[in-house]
A and B are shown apart, each in its own frame.
Chain A
């Protein structure tokens, strides 16, 4: 990821050795104060707001729209619409000062991604956000598994910042660019 892709807060996340960031609690134990713990402290101290953004706990779960779209095809626009979103509580929309369906930048210890902030019928509480499982969500999912094999798909902290001018990348292009592979267009379907 290019350096300019990072938000101001994500400078806190920048670390020479990425692997440290996939092991947040080890970093916390061995360094003075990891950015992840700083986020946690700010959250617990009631300081959820940071600059133009807010800090939320994110869960990634299966959705029926996502399930249908998987069967339609992962390069389909249905899959893009179902998975490149983040569901927020109404209070969090107010805290961010944005309307529904505005693009936001979501930054975690693992990475940063542009998603569309939407409202949901499956209610959340303020400070809890949901991203449907998929390649977009996995950009920000920390890979540390606590020796069980299961990464932190649920309950990791993210900074959400308004990014109305930014564009959401399509899945294949996103993956190719982030993996450093040459993108030559989407195959089939779309």
Chain B
């Protein structure tokens, strides 16, 4: 007899859908069926029981094979590696809960590391622009209930956030949007005619990397000035049509994705986008929301923000103060310039999603990957520590893309003996304290100085 767990939070993308129904076996160990999830969410829950799950830490041997070791040995190796490193990099955090992130940040602080999350290669530019310009924003609930003009710029929710359109942005009927899709006008701006563009009322195809110019043209038209016949591959008439459509709306929402942050201009594109929304507020209510990818990349920024004041790329290597300098303390730059001497990849896959030059450097330094599954990073690491899956085998707080915290739920038990992220970080921290005490020192810097003196 199966048991149905209702209102499960899907921990795949930043939409954090909260209406999943999961059927679990009587003994609470196996997921039998998932309802209401998108293709990716369903795969996430259903593949948990696949054969081949790693349940013990794996250490790479000299011959390239991996050997199972105990959690105690893995924790000891990690603590010693971190203490021996002058500047370890802690990258990832986006696919775990806020409790684990806070525990991990404490460890990074103790060992003088750099903490960076997936925003560094995702919406880091957006965060820079928001720091520069501010952000007129709202929650996804407001979008559902109020928005009648929705712009998707450089994002493709049909593929990356599959239920975003049906739950919040295009199809749902809300309090002030009772007609649902019929009452909304959807505009999609992209260099590809994506599957999202196909459901839009207006598709604006721009030349790749001309986003800044098109934002500028929109702002110029909005202020009643003339523009050239064509800007970034878009005819002037089309730009004027878009402006008229937006001005006639009651509530405009701009969703933007990595089409803006990965392309030429980066934070300046977002800067211009925010100013465009600010200008639109002279005519109607307008807001914008970043389409955050991983389910808790927003939370990683939130936790870092309230602990150290910066949302990503936070350098604690000076031990007394936090520094944030994009281009210097960001993961890709640190790796490419060989400025870190150990790496911990947590709840993310650096090797699959960083430019290869950064990955190659990662493979040359001591690397520990903490991830429930086999990934590219685990296969290039010296040590892989498996953990329980957040949102499936362990609960915890996660932040949705609109900065709303949501408590995720546990559905099934983790395989016997597998630790949670939070517990693992606390135990590594405790081991670091023990090693410091054994050596009669109180900080990682003193430990390093002692080691250097001895050698």
Q: Which residues of A contact B (CB under 8 A)?
A: 18-19, 22, 57, 59-64, 67-68, 70-75, 110-111, 121-125, 128, 130, 133-135, 138-139, 141-143, 145-155, 171-172, 175-176, 178-184, 187-189
**In the complex, how many angstroms separate the beta carbon of B163 from the nearest chain A beta carbon?**
12
Q: Is the CB of B40 within 8 A of A67?
A: yes
* Bound Cα distance from A11 to B313, whole angstroms: 36
Tell me whether B74 is interfacial, beta carbon within 8 Å: no
| A-B pairs with lowest CB-CB distance, top 6 | A149-B330, A147-B327, A182-B64, A188-B52, A153-B262, A143-B355
- In the complex, what residue of chain B is closest to A75 when comparing beta carbons? B374
**Contact among A62, A67, A138 with B355 in the assembled complex (CB-CB below 8 Å):** A138
Tell me whether B273 is interfacial, beta carbon within 8 Å: no
**In the complex, how many angstroms separate the beta carbon of A187 from the nearest chain B beta carbon?**
5
Q: Is the CB of A146 within 8 A of B266?
A: yes
Q: Beta-carbon contacts of B352-363 to A below 8 Å, as 1s and 0s?
A: 111111111001
Q: Is the CB of A59 within 8 A of B336?
A: no
Q: Is the CB of A154 within 8 A of B332?
A: no
Residues of B within 8 A of A67 (CB): 12-13, 39-40, 159-160
Contacts beyond the supplied A71-B43, A154-B262: 18 A-B pairs with Cβ under 8 Å: A59-B262, A63-B159, A64-B39, A73-B52, A73-B373, A74-B374, A135-B359, A138-B353, A141-B355, A143-B358, A149-B326, A149-B330, A150-B122, A151-B121, A154-B208, A155-B209, A182-B63, A183-B64
Q: Is the CB of B208 within 8 A of A57?
A: yes
Tell me whether B379 is interfacial, beta carbon within 8 Å: yes
Q: Is the CB of B258 within 8 A of A153?
A: yes
Q: Which of B307-354 contact A (CB under 8 A)?
A: 312-313, 326-327, 330-333, 336, 349, 351-354
- In the complex, what residue of chain B is closest to A147 when comparing beta carbons? B327
Known: A74-B375, A188-B374. A64 touches B158 (CB 8 A): yes
Chain A to chain B contacts (Cβ below 8 Å), 22 pairs? A59-B208, A60-B262, A64-B39, A74-B352, A123-B192, A135-B352, A138-B354, A143-B332, A145-B333, A147-B326, A148-B267, A149-B326, A149-B331, A150-B125, A151-B262, A151-B355, A175-B363, A179-B360, A179-B380, A184-B63, A188-B51, A188-B52
Known: A125-B205, A149-B313. A110 touches B357 (CB 8 A): yes
Q: Is the CB of A74 within 8 A of B63?
A: no
* Bound Cα distance from A150 to B262, whole angstroms: 7
Known: A61-B156, A149-B333. A154 touches B258 (CB 8 A): yes
Q: Is the CB of A171 within 8 A of B376?
A: yes
**Contact among B12, B65, B356 with A111 in the assembled complex (CB-CB below 8 Å):** B356
Q: Is the CB of B44 within 8 A of A128?
A: no
- In the complex, what residue of chain A is closest to B66 when comparing beta carbons? A187
For B, the interface residue count at a CB cutoff of 8 angstroms equals: 73
Q: Is the CB of B357 within 8 A of A179?
A: no
**In the complex, how many angstroms separate the beta carbon of B265 from the nearest chain A beta carbon?**
9
**In the complex, how many angstroms separate the beta carbon of A148 from the nearest chain B beta carbon?**
5
**In the complex, how many angstroms separate the beta carbon of B42 from the nearest chain A beta carbon?**
9
- In the complex, what residue of chain A is closest to B362 when comparing beta carbons? A179
Residues of B within 8 A of A143 (CB): 332, 336, 354-358
- In the complex, what residue of chain B is closest to A133 when comparing beta carbons? B353
**In the complex, how many angstroms separate the beta carbon of B65 from the nearest chain A beta carbon?**
5
- In the complex, what residue of chain A is closest to B116 when comparing beta carbons? A149
**In the complex, how many angstroms separate the beta carbon of B41 from the nearest chain A beta carbon?**
8
* Bound Cα distance from A135 to B336, whole angstroms: 17
Residues of A within 8 A of B326 (CB): 147-149
Q: Is the CB of B356 within 8 A of A122?
A: no
Q: Is the CB of B65 within 8 A of A184?
A: yes
Q: Beta-carbon contacts of B70-97 to A below 8 Å, as 1s and 0s?
A: 0000000000000000000000000000
* Bound Cα distance from A147 to B332, whole angstroms: 10
**In the complex, how many angstroms separate the beta carbon of B301 from the nearest chain A beta carbon?**
13
Q: Is the CB of B327 within 8 A of A22?
A: no
**Contact among A18, A59, A175, A180 with B357 in the assembled complex (CB-CB below 8 Å):** A18
**In the complex, how many angstroms separate the beta carbon of A126 from the nearest chain B beta carbon?**
12
**In the complex, how many angstroms separate the beta carbon of A6 from the nearest chain B beta carbon?**
15
* Bound Cα distance from A150 to B363, whole angstroms: 20
Tell me whether B391 is interfacial, beta carbon within 8 Å: no
* Bound Cα distance from A127 to B350, whole angstroms: 29
Residues of A within 8 A of B331 (CB): 149
**In the complex, how many angstroms separate the beta carbon of A61 from the nearest chain B beta carbon?**
7
Known: A148-B128, A187-B374. A154 touches B263 (CB 8 A): yes
Tell me whether B264 is interfacial, beta carbon within 8 Å: yes
- In the complex, what residue of chain A is closest to B264 when comparing beta carbons? A155
Tell me whether B275 is interfacial, beta carbon within 8 Å: no
Q: Is the CB of B261 within 8 A of A150?
A: yes
Residues of B within 8 A of A62 (CB): 156, 159-160, 258, 293
* Bound Cα distance from A123 to B354, whole angstroms: 26
* Bound Cα distance from A37 to B159, whole angstroms: 33
Q: Is the CB of B349 within 8 A of A74?
A: yes
- In the complex, what residue of chain A is closest to B160 when comparing beta carbons? A62
Residues of B within 8 A of A149 (CB): 116, 120-121, 124-125, 312-313, 326-327, 330-333
Residues of B within 8 A of A182 (CB): 63-64
* Bound Cα distance from A142 to B264, whole angstroms: 13
**Contact among B191, B313, B333 with A59 in the assembled complex (CB-CB below 8 Å):** B191
Residues of B within 8 A of A154 (CB): 208-209, 258-259, 262-263
Known: A63-B159, A141-B355, A179-B380. A150 touches B120 (CB 8 A): yes
Residues of B within 8 A of A178 (CB): 356, 360
Looking at B40, B158, B358, the one whose CB has the most chain A CB atoms below 10 A away is B40
* Bound Cα distance from A110 to B43, whole angstroms: 33
Q: Is the CB of A122 within 8 A of B327?
A: no
